[in-house]
Structure 1
Amino acid sequence: MLEFDRAGKAIKNLLIWNLCDHESTVADWACLSRVGVKNECRPGHWKQGFAEGLDMNVLMLRWLCLLTLSLPLLFWVGHVMIRDGPSPAAARKGLEGYKRIKPDRMDQILDINCSQCALVSSSGQMLRVGAGEEIDKIGCVIRMNNAPTKGFEKDVGRRTTVRVVSHTSVPLLVKNEQYYFQQSAETTYVFWGPERNMRQDGKGHIFNALLKMAKKYPNVRMYAVTKDKIEYCDGVFQNETGKNRMKTGAFLSTGFFTMILAIEMCDSIHVYGMIDDGYCRINECKMYKVHEHTQRGGHRFITEKAIYAKWAARHRIEFKHPSWSL
């Protein structure tokens, strides 16, 4: 605080010197009075200067006044951006809430940033669309759970930069560990799950299985979503819907965690194969409708997609195959 006080006094003295040492307008004095600088000039302090010098100093004075009056607005805008949803990639340096799974330490955070990302849904919407080559040309490719690429390269591409995996899908990856953790060792894995399965005191059976894989394949980058991050995502859901996720008996889907991660790590996102929240009003989506209205243990897939549409208005998100009317 002392340094801020000194800096403030220095700026104030500079402004007073400019006014006392040169001719100034009524508007300049009005600006100074707004930022707490009073007329401290004494008779005899006025001097004549060259016209160019006067213009330069008055211009500098006005810029300083504008900067001083603009700072509170800038802080307010920053506060609103942080409050209203996940922060964009450009605002972050390393991603808090994702900790490296390693036998000897859990203090390494996920450090990844991409200019463009392809977020590829596990949906059958991608079949026979032939988007594989387009997807593989994008800098980072994000997939979910154990969604396959082998045999579907023409439609979904070959590359996987990040794979976000639910606790329920971990056994499927472990069952095919050679493919996921050896042949696809360049992929970064992000695992999420409830505390009872991901606790690190030896009683979290899913975390134990992941730790075993981390020991066996030490070069594979495996990260766990922290408890605090999951609570943050719950808060984002409640802020967007006005509903408490736990009180409504719902679980967030892997897609929700993936979309938040994508916004944090990517400057722009191309989402492939994800239907919008209105799709099931026209088409039969029995599974989605059951989950949307179940009282316990369901995913709010349709509600989540309405949230993604809102985020697309605030971030650089484009939906393809099918495209969305935003």
Structure 2
Amino acid sequence: MTATANLPLIDMSGVREGDPAALSRAGDAIRKACSETGFFYIVNHGVPQTVINAAMAAAKTFFAYPSEVKRRVAVNKRHRGWHALGGALMYEATKPDFKEFFSMGLELPEDDPSVLAGEALRGPNQWPDFMPTLRPALGAYYEEIGRAGADLLRAVAVGLGIAPAFFAPKYGKRLQRTQMVYYPPHPAMAEADQFGVAPHTDYGCITLLYQDNSGGLQVRELASNRWIDATPIEGSLVVNVGDLLARWSNDRFRSTLHRVINTSGHERYSIATFYDPTYSAIVDPCDLGIDASASAYPPVAAGDYILKRIDDSMAYRKKGGAV
């Protein structure tokens, strides 16, 4: 593990192949990073660069369409589709985020048992008929980043001192959400409380982010309470702990404030993946070896927790939800 821009850089080589020494090394590095900053980079993560490049190219093509065209796949009640500029207001923020994004999740047909049962956030994705190339490009990325997430959680488990396979049964029908994100250049005369994404912590378990070379992602360093840059590193993914994993670990792992300010002078693109458990998975610190008397949090269903956080931050849901 080395440090770059004050954030750890962790090599995942050998983890997917099941090398016990590699898993142990990654677990130790992740424990240190998650306990101290909650943010780190991973390299040799297994996501092919060709898949990343295709998804990023698709993002640029999609967001270049006029708003009236993108509106044909406007976000629906399942949190799938296009979110227009100004559609997200983070907690305690005074202005909506200066970004657009397109959300997708696990592709489930209308007759899937979870969909028929009315499980929130479940169902088919909204794929644009005006851009048929989006589905294969983003779908391939979704699957590959999901594999990287599963690898990562094995190392997270080792870092927490539990069995490497602990998380796998919790992800049988994962609530993974992947978002292409577009940030226009930051307005020259923007006020101090205008952000691409306002300071926040993520809702779920872990986030895996691919960012272009524009910069702009900043992390609130716990030791100094200052903002530091998560400088883009070629071939890396940025990983951070979400509130759900902080809760699960009884705050042994830290969920850290971060924000985006796109001061590059040009458009910024990223793809964020929130790699979260199946909706009904119970998140309980006691399952990770915490005594009930020392647990800071009662058990909660992963999906219920995430849905509440989405409802609190998305404008379309405050209005009763789009259809």
**Normalising TM by the smaller chain, what interval?**
under 0.3
Say which structure, 1 or 2, has more relative contact order (CA 8 Å, 6+ apart): 2
Query: Comparing both structures, which one devotes a greater share of its residues to helix?
Result: 1
Query: Comparing both structures, which one devotes a greater share of its residues to strand?
Result: 2
TM-score (norm. length: structure 2): 0.27
